[in-house]
Amino acid sequence: MPELPEVETLRRDLLIHLPGERVAGVEVLRSDSVGYPADPAVFSAQMTGQVFSDRMLRRGKYLLLYFEQGAAMGVHLRMSGRLLWRRAEAPLEPHTRVRIPMASGHELRFEDMRVFGRLWLIPVGVPPERVMGGLARLGPEPFAEMFDGRYLAGRFAGRNQPVKSALLDQQLVAGVGNIYADEALFSSGIHPALPVGGLDAAALERLHRAVVKVLEAGIAQRGATLRNYTDAQGINGNYAGTAWVYGRKGQPCRVCHSLIERIRLAGRSTHFCPTCQCAQQSVQ
């Protein structure tokens, strides 16, 4: 699933291409790719004629692309979604679900192989949280001032959940997923299976700094392409090639040369270095 760095890369790409573009029409090729309005014909009619503004926001893994008239298009890519900027005459990608042609001759396409992603049209004056229910449940942004070691201590106190599983909770912090959770835990020297309630203050400060650091690195590398993710031009991200542990089972650690291990925690594949992230470290 695209995580914060991938969605932020996409936001920055769209900010280059979309402002000032007028929607000439909308073709919904798969109705369940539209979350609101429920009727794809209404979605298409209300989108047509809208002009994209330069107000394009990211909240966790969600995008909010505002129009000059005040409405907005919400986007969640989920597992395999992509937003692609194409010339209208370019061949369609095989899993294109929604086409949004522009008056300029360009086209914004929503492609989604697994059909978990969604587009929403948020009417003028309606809070996005009322249309996109997941927004209301998100925790703070990782780059927000309130997200620090003390915040983590308060949220983790008395809990036995593995720290890797806790980091994937979008109500704890918005935008961190499987890739960057593994990377942050390696960077902070914390074993992913350790219970969060047993982490000391120093470990929590390291973890906070590591989450911010790996997300910034992911943005700088324009995201990580493992399966489906690309930027708005269809180009792969570069982070996966420099990852410390994620996707590197059986390969030598870039620090100590121990072999990277993979386990499953709460059903999610989890990568770590057994030496750099010894389970006896960072506990009270």
What's the confidence (pLDDT) of residue 205? 97
Query: Which structural domains are found in the chain, ordered by start?
Result: 4-136 (3.20.190.10), 149-272 (1.10.8.50)
Instruction: Give the catalytic positions in this structure.
Output: 2-3, 61, 268
pLDDT tens digit sequence for 56-65: 999 999 999 9
pLDDT value, residue 47: 98
* CA 86/CA 108 separation, integer angstroms: 6
What is the Rg, in whole angstroms, of the alpha carbon atoms belonging to the chain? 20
Residue 231 reports pLDDT greater than 60 = no
How far apart are alpha carbons 121 and 133 in whole angstroms? 13
At residue 1, the pLDDT reads: 75
Look up residue 97 and give its amino acid: R
- pLDDT of residue 284 exceeding 60, the answer is no
- Known binding residue 209? Answer is no
CA distance to 5, 97, 130, 132, 256, per residue, from 127 (Å): 25, 26, 6, 9, 50
Q: What pLDDT does residue 232 have? A: 66
Q: Which pLDDT does position 230 carry in this prediction?
A: 63
Tens of pLDDT, residue by residue over 173-205, are 999 999 999 999 999 999 999 999 999 999 999
Which pLDDT score is estimated for 280?
A: 55
pLDDT tens for each residue of 237-271: 666 788 999 999 999 999 999 999 999 998 899 99
Kindly write down the DSSP assignment for every residue of 208-277, as one continuous string. HHHHHHHHHHHHHTT---SSS---TTSPPPSGGGG-SSTT-TTSBPTTT-PBPEEEEETTEEEEE-TTTT
User: Would you say 58 is a known binding-site residue?
Assistant: no
Averaged pLDDT, 93-112: 97
Query: Is 106 annotated in some ligand binding site?
Result: no
In sequence order, what are the beta bridge partners of 98?
Answer: 28, 110
Please give the Cα distance from 243 to 102 (Å, whole number). Answer: 38
Amino acid 236: pLDDT: 58
Alpha carbons 265 and 263: distance in angstroms, whole number: 7
Average pLDDT over the chain reads 93
Determine the average pLDDT of the residues in 4-14.
95
pLDDT at 282 over 50: no
Q: Which residues contact 206 (CB under 8 A, 6 or more apart)?
A: 187, 188, 189, 190, 282
Identity at 7, one-letter amino acid code: V
| CB-based burial label for 124 (10 Å; 0-12, 13-18, 19+) | exposed
**87, exposed or middle or buried, with CB in 10 Å at 0-12, 13-18, 19+?**
exposed
What does the pLDDT look like over 115-162, one tens digit per residue?
999 999 999 999 999 999 999 999 999 999 999 999 999 999 999 999
Q: Quote the pLDDT of residue 108.
A: 98
pLDDT at 262: 97
As a whole number, mean pLDDT of residues 94-122 equals: 97
